[in-house]
Amino acid sequence: MQEKLKAIVNDALEKMKAADQLDTLNDIKVAYLGKKGELTEILKSMKEVSPEDRPKVGQLVNEARTVLEEKLEDAKKGFLNKIKEEQIKKETIDVTLPAKRPHMGHRHPNNIALDEVERIFVGMGYEVVEGPEVEYDYYNFEALNIPANHPAKDEQDTFYVNSNILLRTQTSPVQVRVMEEGKLPIRMIAPGRVFRSDEVDATHSPCFNQIEGLVIDKNITFSDLKGTLAEFAKQLFGEGTKVKFRPHHFPFTEPSAEVDVTCFKCGGDGCRFCKGTGWIEILGCGMVHPNVLKMSGIDPEEYTGFAFGVGLERITLLKYEIDDMRLLYENDIRFLKQF
């Protein structure tokens, strides 16, 4: 039995020396020490050994098992050390090589344009105010003099959560909330995302950004509105920019107007950019409707005001001469890195 165990151990050791990978060592361990291994088979045949020889045979088997386990563990450590050495050689860093320059991002063209608009109005004494994007129907429509049967409330234009809650279609609700606070006078702009059920194309998106302004004080007139927007246009598009007001209709302002600015490409002479007219439409505005003031608890006999609204994407498209709104949201690095 002793000779047989010695032969098993020597055979296993020879196979360990010839092993060239960890999987081979695992196979050897199973072949000699596993449930059906050679040493295990000897232990199973102990019943054939005489009772007086069993302790000695059992001791010899255990000694053989201990030797094989130690040799297998040493061989395994040797393989692991060799693998680690090879890995270290492969992952060696040559510190003399030039470093890879990290790609640094920058602000989105929309944010660049918004920063400039905010800078202009803050410089004129305005406050920047934000409000909820999920809004009550009352603040989005009713408090802005838009009755229940108005086309703007049709579900094809507005995303309704339920009959009383919706995704705001404009940032005007922020103005109503500020007016309700009753802290007068008011000079504010309200930038933010708005949502409308529009098909995506070169000039429309179901999610876009608006900047709406509001001034409430005593003795505010349409002249104040014209002077404010003229100064805004000059600072945004250039000192030589002029503004033109065209009569229009908005439920929350009266009188109301659309505002055009002289084309900053041709100076008003007419070009491809302004379609030969010399003018570019930029925003809507008007004097705050007395009904809107009353619903917010402001006396229209004592206070007047004006409001205006402009699409942030429109400013960005005009300022950077971009002809497709979708480019702003496609995250194409070749486009964005131009700014």
Which residues, at least 6 apart from 310, have a Cβ–Cβ distance to it below 8 Å?
117, 210, 211, 212, 282, 283, 284
Pair (69, 118) in one structural domain: no
Pair (62, 138) in one structural domain: no
Pair (80, 121) in one structural domain: no
Domain-embedded: residue 274: yes
Q: How far is CA 184 from CA 72, 74, 292, in A?
A: 86, 84, 15
- Out of 58, 90, 122, a domain closes at 90
Residues 185-201 pLDDT 10s: 999 999 999 999 888 88
Structure tokens at 158: 């507005």
Q: Residue type for 47, please?
A: K
Domain-embedded: residue 283: yes
Q: Residue type for 5, please?
A: L
Pair (157, 267) in one structural domain: yes
Q: What is the mean pLDDT of residues 58-72?
A: 75
Domain-embedded: residue 100: no
Give the Cα separation of 187 and 122 in Å (integer): 9
Judged against a pLDDT cut of 80, whether residue 95 lies above it is answered with: no
Pair (219, 302) in one structural domain: yes
Domain-embedded: residue 311: yes
Q: Are 8 and 38 in contact (CB under 8 A)?
A: yes
Domain-embedded: residue 103: no
Quick one: DSSP state of residue 100?
P
Pair (212, 289) in one structural domain: yes
Q: Give the total number of structural domains in the chain.
A: 2
- Give the torsion sign (CA, 330, 326, 245, 264): positive
Pair (193, 246) in one structural domain: yes
Domain-embedded: residue 211: yes
Pair (47, 174) in one structural domain: no
Check which CATH number belongs to the domain holding 321 and give it: 3.30.930.10
Domain-embedded: residue 104: no
Give me the pLDDT at residue 12, please. 73
Structure tokens at 84: 């680690």
Residue 154: phi and psi, rounded to 5, are -65, 140
Domain-embedded: residue 95: no
Question: What is the domain extent for residue 114?
Answer: 109-336
Residues 141-197 pLDDT 10s: 999 998 888 776 776 688 999 989 999 999 999 999 999 998 999 999 999 999 998
Pair (60, 185) in one structural domain: no
- Out of 25, 55, 90, a domain closes at 90
Pair (183, 330) in one structural domain: yes
Q: What is the mean pLDDT of residues 61-67?
A: 75
Pair (59, 147) in one structural domain: no
Pair (210, 291) in one structural domain: yes
- Out of 90, 121, 139, a domain closes at 90
Judged against a pLDDT cut of 80, whether residue 308 lies above it is answered with: yes
Judged against a pLDDT cut of 90, whether residue 94 lies above it is answered with: no
